[in-house]
Structure formats: structure tokens, C-alpha cells
Chain A
Amino acid sequence: MKLTLKIWRQKDAFSKGKFVTYPIEHISPNCSFLEMLDILNEQLIANDEDPVAFDHDCREGICGMCSLYINGRPHGPDDAITTCQLHMRKFRDGATIVIEPWRAKPFPVIRDLIVDRTAFDKIIQEGGYISVRTGGTPDANSILISKVHADLSMDAAACIGCGACVAACKNASAMLFVSAKVSQFALLPQGRIEARERVKKMVARMDELGFGNCTNTYACEAECPKLVSRSNIARMNREFIAAKVL
């Protein structure tokens, strides 16, 4: 395949960025998107140019580190996958591909396509857990959980924290991310004990960090690589109102 890449280049958080165009040839359709960028970087290094910096690690769609905004879509033109699972066969020969970092105020650019997502960690630190210490816990089977609730909890827990939901949202809202964690625990009996405090604290922190509000367009759900459902947002709203009122 022969392609034209338009890639966002930005030296660091303080510099201004711009698009730079790179032609690239002889790409196999079975090549993954990140492998295509590896090939580009090899060529840049050979020409004594700076390679394009991008985040990636597991390259099997689970660590949540890769984060490219490709042709206007987080994780590119396929559903239910991360960028590292995207393959070049999803593009036509001769195509122009525009590659940008996540764009959201709480995710500042560090360099080129790498952004800082520690805001997500900060939200989790506020209460995205059950406050249990190591040891002294009851036998695992002493807590009965209906299969329906366990499955729904697992659906929510599948979130990989990549930030595609924020990047897709016109308001840069983190509601899908936060609601997934709130829901995972709200659905389990061992998570109910702190449910009210948890939702209040996490929502407050989310607002404080500059994430926007939800205006129900559900772009987050459409772009979520793990198909986390918007019904989690509804559940979180319910939990939040109950926590405030009761």
C-alpha cells in the first residue's frame, strides 16, 4: 500500500504543534497501524529526523496505553478496538491518514501524539476502589452475587482507561470512564457500603480536573474499544442523585 500520513508534531507541552506530511510506501495490508508507524520511524531515523513519539505498550488491546485520533476517530476506523489492534487492511491504497493526539484540556500533550492522562489516575485515587486492607477478608464464597449482577459489573470493569471516551466527546467529558468504575462497585454487595461516598467524591474530582459535562450524545459509547455501555452513565446519575438527596 501507498499512503500519505499527516501527523501532529509538537516538541513538548510548551511548544506550538503542527501537522507534518509524510508519504509512505510498501505497507502490507496485514501490518498493524502501529507497525506502520514503526516502519515510518525507521525511515525517519535513517534520514536523521526525529521519530514520531506515540504511546503504546501491550499491543494487544488491553493495557489502554495507545491513544491515537485517526481520521477524526479515537482508535481509528473500526469498532470495538484499540489503535494497536487496527490493521492497515481497514484503509484503501492511496489514502491520506490524519493522525492526532487525544484533544482534551485535562489531557495535555507531552510530545507529538503522547498526552498526559494522569487525571484518570487522580479520579480513581479519590475512591475508585473498595477500601479493603490486605488480609482478614471472609471466604470468597461467603459473598453471594447473582450472575446477572456479576456480569454487568464485569461489563463495566472491562474499561481500559484509554481515554477514547474523553477524546470523542465534544465536551471532553469523562462520564463514561467514571461511571464504569462507579457501576462496577455499585452492582456488587461488597461495593455498596461505600457507594454514596464514592460517587460523590469521584464526580467532584472529575469536575475539578476540568472534564466537561455529559450532554447525551453518546459519542463515548460509540468509540469505546471495550463497548462500555452508556447505561453506566444513567446508573451513575441515579447513584449520584441518591447520594446527594439521601
Chain B
Amino acid sequence: MAELRSKVPQGPVAEKWTRYKAQQNLVNPANKRKLDVIVVGTGLAGASAAASLGELGFNVSIFCYQDSPRRAHSIAAQGGINAAKNYPNDGDSIYRLYYDTIKGGDYRAREANVYRLAEVSNAIIDQCVAQGVPFAREYSGLLENRSFGGAQVSRTFYARGQTGQQLLLGAYGALSRQIKEGQVKMFNRHEMMELVLVDGKARGIIARDMITGKLERHSAHAVVLATGGYGNVFYLSTNAMGSNGSAIWQAFRKGAFFGNPSFTQIHPTCIPVHGDYQSKLTLMSESLRNDGRIWVPKRKEDAEKIRNRTMKANQIPEENRDYFLERRYPAFGNLVPRDVASRAAKERCDAGFGVGDTGLAVYLDFADSLKRLGKAVIEERYGNLFQMYEKIVDENPYENPMMIYPAVHYTMGGLWVDYELMSTVEGLFVTGEANFSDHGANRLGASALMQGLADGYFILPYTLQNFLAGQIKVPRISTDKEEFAGAEKAVADRIDKLMSVKGKRSVDHFHKALGKIMWEYVGMGRTADGLKKAIGMIRELRKEFWKDVRIPGKATELNPELEKANRVADFLELGELMALDALNRNESCGGHFREEYQTEEGECLRNDQEYMYVATWEYRGEGQYEMHKEPLVYEELEVKQRIYK
């Protein structure tokens, strides 16, 4: 059995990374040419890693399921990227960014990783500016910052409402340069189906060419998974339609442990659900909470009138509005962390004060800011978001307040990794959202982009090199080895099994049914009873899926239904593990809210005595998982209750 060794270097937290780099092993240029690396995923974490490793001289192969690496879902991140530059002179520092991130994650992240993240954050901004990322500027020509949830300083750099797009295109540019130079080989429209282990080490993958359906073997000295999060287990989420958890799930089945699978972020500001044909939820950037005020009617009768459309938001006078975040959290107001804002919105809606046709919405109102700053300023800051809202909802947010409701957005959980970002499978590294490491039980806004690029540009090129230094005597791995043949056959068998079910119901039918169970019982409010019920229901649904799913067409051609079926089959297992993990954790922390464990004021009630650990799950056969604990030790920070009042 693999053991949990976090490999955190000795010494004070601020010196650990420096010490690591001073003591790590390096690979000389001649040997780099002989070493191969596979990267799966071309988002911020994958593209930046592949480009940086290619520049160093390693031979890299990179895979994505989209038609181009530029489409990875990092592109949809809107608001910004954090860094501890302290350009606004408002009291920021590496220490404060680290502190805010640990506190924001409700003291469930690994301290040393978070400090390192804050430490390299500034270099990311330098790197991106050098690449030509057009960040927002002041008239002086200097970079502009704005504030985000969970922080009292302005440390967020942004490119209008398209920061993720611009950062990704920067990384895509760097990747494209390496492709041109022949250092990186690009495999687009390829999906990883299986991880290949040779002598217990990750030495390759089986990928499916999504145009021809052909299974391919690819080998390397190390494999990096940068495949993003698994929020689509909820069916409706802000993730892209193709975002999936299959790569990490296959690795899990091969021995990589899964850390905190139940830690899911529900984002407070999304466009509410409007019909059962709906395929996805659209996020409205957290940055909107800088200038928008969140409220619901103070009187139930007003909320009712709004729901049956006999009254409009603008007809409710100021004194009859409840700005519930400002009321409950005066110190942070509308900029409390996401989990807190989401729960507060749900609480108001559950209590009967929700608006919109369904009563599952709250207002995000810009009237005050429009008055204070004028339409031109608001348009410059959020123009594209307002336009997006109007296209979807068919209402003008400059005239009527936006309606928003929480939606699944990000998964803090993921494959367990040590300080070097290596999983419990030797040679398998996991970066970005796909790993569990830096955000604890709740991620702060504008920190996902920071983590993806930190891992890819500034951490993996060191830690992966340290591993590869031990591989220089290993010749290129042949794909004729029996391990590859066996893995390929396992994939082919599974595809055959799926295709031969020939049932009556579509893949989407099962995916939607799973999503409903997850949202109802493993969503914003969880209880022991509900979670037990969910586990039973998911097991039933999984059986049903393998008996009754219908996949048209053939496996040897472009077949989007087969692609979806493969992913949903994995979600049907992953969903159960998430529920198990949530059931195990008898406390509330960050985005994990067990209704049995709350303060009198409805805030999270942590149990540090019993649950200050990373719940790390090992695969022991389908539906059989064993939990191991990585205790969380805070050497530097004093652990406190998280208060935003």
C-alpha cells in the first residue's frame, strides 16, 4: 500500500521552498533530451507546465479533448488572478495572501503548499505581463487592481471580465512556441482513457482519438494530470460541457489516493436555473460584488408579489430591502467568501424571501454604483458580463437588478499530492484544480488561476525535475510492453461493454438523474441521513445505467454519446465517494456544510480535535474505499474560528 508522506521540507514556513530548491536534484541538458513527459489537459496548469518543461528541454506530449488547446475551461474564468504585489500600498504581503488563503479554506489546506503558492504569486504576474497579457491599467500606465471575496486588500489583477481567457492565451502562446520548436507534441481531440503503470510507476496513458475512435498507447518517464475539476458530477454547473473527472478517476482506480472528494465550491453569483432542458449554469463574476449589492425583500408579502409578477424590484422602497450580507457580515459585507455568501442566499430563499419565478434567486443590484460612478464606468468594468446576462435572461441589468443564485463551480477536492505535487503513484503528478492541495475546504476568488499557473510555471518544473533526475538511466519506455497491451485491452473491453448494453435511456438521462441526487443531498446543505440516502440512490442508478444506457453509433468513429457515457460511468462512482467523504466528516467547514454542525447563528461549526486532517481515500474495488488521514499541522499560523463579521 502506498503511504502518505507529504514530504514537506523542514524549517520555517517562509524558508521551506527555498530550501527545497537548494537541495533538489537537477537534470543536465543532454539528459533532458532523453526524458519524456506526458501532460493531460491544456488549461492553465497543463499548458503552462508543458511550455515550461519544453523550454527546459524535456520531450513533452500534451493531450486535450477539445479541438484546440486554447479552449480549455480556464478560458472561462472571469474575475482575476491574485498576487501579493502590494502595488496599491494597502498592506498586502506574501504572508497576508497566505493567511487569507488558509483562513478562506477554513484551516483545511496544507500550510506549506499555501505559503509557496503565495510566494510564487508575484512571479506569475511578471511572467504574464512579459507574455503580453493585456491586464487592466491605470492612466499612469501602471497595473490596476481590484478586490475580491475574503480579502480586505486589492490584490486581484484582471483583464476586463476575461482574465482566464487572457492568461490561458498567454500560456497557449508559450505552448504554441514549443510546439513549433518541436519540444512539445500536441494531441488535440484525444481523451485519456487509462493510466499505464510499469513496475508501479506511471509510465504512460491509453488515449482515444476522438475522430477515429482508435485507441493509442503513449509512454513517458512521468505523467502529469492537469485535467481540472469534477463539478460536472452535479450535471448542472459552471463547468464546460466536456469537463470531466475521468482522468483522475482512472488514476484513482490505479492507486492514486483521492483527497477530500466532498469539498465542492458552490459559487454565489450564477444565473438561476430556468428550465429542465437546461444544460449548464452561467457564472456572473465575483468581481461584480465589488460594486453590486445583494438583497431580497424584507417582507414576505413583497417577495410573493415579485414571484407572481405583480410587483417589480424597483418598486420596493429602500427600507423594505434586506441587504442580508451587509447585515450579517458588516466587516466584509458583499465581499464575504463564496461559501458564506452562497449559504446566506440559500437561507433567505429557504425562509421564503427568494425572488424570480421559482423563488430560488436573490438580487444583485447596481443601482447605487450606477448613481455613484455613472454608466460608463460600470460598462467598462463589467460590460461583457452585463451583455452576457442580458442575452441569457432577456432583461437589462442596467435598469433592473440582476437575479442570481448559487451553483456548483469548483472542486477543492482532487487527487492527493505531496509537496512535490506527486500523487501516491510514483511518477504521477497532479496540478491545478485536479489536485486537492491549496484551497482547503473553500477556495477564495481569483486563486484558481493563481494556483494553476503557479503549479505549471514555477513549481512543477522544479519538482518534476527532481523526480526525473532519478530516471536518467531509464531508457525510453516501449509501448509494446505487456502493461500497455493490458491497459489497452481493459479500455477496449469497457467500451465494448458500454456499447453492448443497448438499453433504452440516453446518457444524459442518467447524468441528469445523478445531478439531482448530488444537488439535493451532497450540495449546499448535507445531513447524515441525506447522505446515506444518496449513497443508496447512486448505487441503484449505477446499476440501472449499466443495464439500460443506450449509445448509438459505433465505437470506431466520432461518437459524442460514447464520450459522455465513459465520463458519466465514472461520475456514477465518484458521486458515491463524495457522499461517503461528506458523511465521514462530522463537522462543517468551508463549502462542506453539515446541517447538524452549525453555530446558533447558522455558521460553520468546525471540529478541529477530530477532523483537522485531509481525508484521503484509497480504491479497493468498486464501491469499496479505505480512508487514510493526513493530519494538518499548522506550524506558523494560529488556528482560529473563521469570522467575517
**Residue from B73, B162, B211 within 8 A of A110 (CB atoms):** B211
What residue in chain A is nearest B144 (Cβ atoms)?
A147
Q: Which of A12, A42, A141, A185 has the most CB of B within 10 A?
A: A141
Q: Knowing A60-B388, A124-B172 touch, does A28 contact B177 (C-beta < 8 A)?
A: no
Contact B131 A130 (CB under 8 A): yes
A125 at interface by CB-CB < 8 Å = yes
CA distance A60 to B392 in the complex (A): 9
Contact B141 A56 (CB under 8 A): no
Inter-chain contacts of B180 with A (CB < 8 A): 125-126
Inter-chain contacts of B553 with A (CB < 8 A): 50
CA distance A144 to B51 in the complex (A): 26
CA distance A131 to B178 in the complex (A): 10
Contact B129 A128 (CB under 8 A): no
- Partner-binding segment picked from B109-117, B274-282, B347-355, B477-485: B274-282
Q: Knowing A12-B557, A31-B275, A110-B211 touch, does A117 contact B68 (C-beta < 8 A)?
A: yes
Inter-chain contacts of A51 with B (CB < 8 A): 552, 560-561
A219 at interface by CB-CB < 8 Å = no
Inter-chain contacts of A150 with B (CB < 8 A): 134-137
Considering the complex, which residues of chain A in the window 97-140 have a beta carbon less than 8 Å from any beta carbon of chain B? 110-111, 114, 116-118, 120-121, 124-126, 128-135, 137-140
Contact A87 B391 (CB under 8 A): yes
By size class, the interface of chain A is 35 or more
CA distance A184 to B66 in the complex (A): 24
CA distance A83 to B367 in the complex (A): 31
Q: Which of A38, A65, A114, A138 has the most CB of B within 10 A?
A: A65
Contact B240 A190 (CB under 8 A): no
Contact B67 A55 (CB under 8 A): yes
Inter-chain contacts of A243 with B (CB < 8 A): none
- Partner-binding segment picked from B120-128, B297-305, B527-535, B578-586: B120-128
Considering the complex, which residues of chain B in the window 332-367 have a beta carbon less than 8 Å from any beta carbon of chain A? none
What residue in chain A is nearest B169 (Cβ atoms)?
A157
Inter-chain contacts of B278 with A (CB < 8 A): 35
Contact A125 B394 (CB under 8 A): no
Q: Which of A50, A78, A125, A138 has the most CB of B within 10 A?
A: A125
**Residue from B72, B132, B142 within 8 A of A191 (CB atoms):** B132
What residue in chain B is nearest A143 (Cβ atoms)?
B129
Q: Knowing A58-B240, A124-B173, A130-B173 touch, does A135 contact B458 (C-beta < 8 A)?
A: yes
Inter-chain contacts of A238 with B (CB < 8 A): none
What residue in chain A is nearest B387 (Cβ atoms)?
A80
Inter-chain contacts of A32 with B (CB < 8 A): 279, 392
CA distance A1 to B153 in the complex (A): 50
Contact A137 B130 (CB under 8 A): yes
What is the CB-to-nearest-CB distance from B509 to chain A, in angstroms, rounded to a whole number? 8
Inter-chain contacts of B506 with A (CB < 8 A): 42, 45-46
Considering the complex, which residues of chain A in the window 128-178 have a beta carbon less than 8 Å from any beta carbon of chain B? 128-135, 137-141, 143-147, 150-151, 153-154, 157-158, 160-161
Contact B552 A45 (CB under 8 A): yes
B188 at interface by CB-CB < 8 Å = yes
A63 at interface by CB-CB < 8 Å = yes
What residue in chain A is nearest B136 (Cβ atoms)?
A150
Considering the complex, which residues of chain B in the window 458-472 have a beta carbon less than 8 Å from any beta carbon of chain A? 458, 461
A7 at interface by CB-CB < 8 Å = no
Q: Knowing A51-B552, A124-B172, A141-B143 touch, does A59 contact B240 (C-beta < 8 A)?
A: yes
Contact B275 A132 (CB under 8 A): no
B154 at interface by CB-CB < 8 Å = no
**Residue from A121, A134, A147 within 8 A of B69 (CB atoms):** A121
Give the A-B contact count at a CB cut-off of 8 A. Answer: 213
**Residue from A110, A114, A147 within 8 A of B138 (CB atoms):** A147
Inter-chain contacts of B169 with A (CB < 8 A): 157
Contact A89 B394 (CB under 8 A): yes
A85 at interface by CB-CB < 8 Å = yes
B634 at interface by CB-CB < 8 Å = no
Contact B391 A59 (CB under 8 A): no
B632 at interface by CB-CB < 8 Å = no
What is the CB-to-nearest-CB distance from A227 to chain B, in angstroms, rounded to a whole number? 10
**Residue from A49, A89, A120, A151 within 8 A of B68 (CB atoms):** A120
B26 at interface by CB-CB < 8 Å = no
Contact A140 B125 (CB under 8 A): yes
Contact A134 B461 (CB under 8 A): yes
What is the CB-to-nearest-CB distance from A47 to chain B, in angstroms, rounded to a whole number? 10
Inter-chain contacts of A5 with B (CB < 8 A): none
Inter-chain contacts of B179 with A (CB < 8 A): 125
CA distance A79 to B125 in the complex (A): 34
What residue in chain A is nearest B271 (Cβ atoms)?
A60
What residue in chain A is nearest B457 (Cβ atoms)?
A134
B241 at interface by CB-CB < 8 Å = yes
CA distance A110 to B210 in the complex (A): 11
What residue in chain A is nearest B72 (Cβ atoms)?
A63
B246 at interface by CB-CB < 8 Å = no
Contact B552 A128 (CB under 8 A): no
Binding site for A on B (CB under 8 A): 48, 51-52, 55, 66-73, 75-76, 85, 87, 123, 125-132, 134-143, 159-160, 162, 165-166, 169, 172-174, 176-177, 179-180, 186, 188, 211, 238, 240-242, 274-275, 277-280, 282-283, 387-388, 391-392, 394, 457-458, 461, 506, 508, 550, 552-553, 557-558, 560-561
Binding site for B on A (CB under 8 A): 12, 28, 30-32, 34-35, 38-39, 42, 44-46, 48-51, 53, 55-65, 78, 80-81, 85, 87, 89, 110-111, 114, 116-118, 120-121, 124-126, 128-135, 137-141, 143-147, 150-151, 153-154, 157-158, 160-161, 184-185, 188, 190-191
A-B contact pairs, 9 of them (CB 8 A): A59-B280, A63-B71, A78-B391, A140-B129, A143-B130, A150-B134, A153-B134, A154-B160, A185-B132
The 4 closest A-B pairs by CB, nearest first: A129-B173, A144-B141, A137-B130, A154-B134
Given A121-B176, A141-B85, A190-B130, 12 other A-B contacts at CB below 8 A? Answer: A44-B552, A58-B73, A63-B76, A110-B558, A134-B461, A137-B130, A141-B142, A141-B143, A143-B130, A144-B140, A144-B141, A188-B132
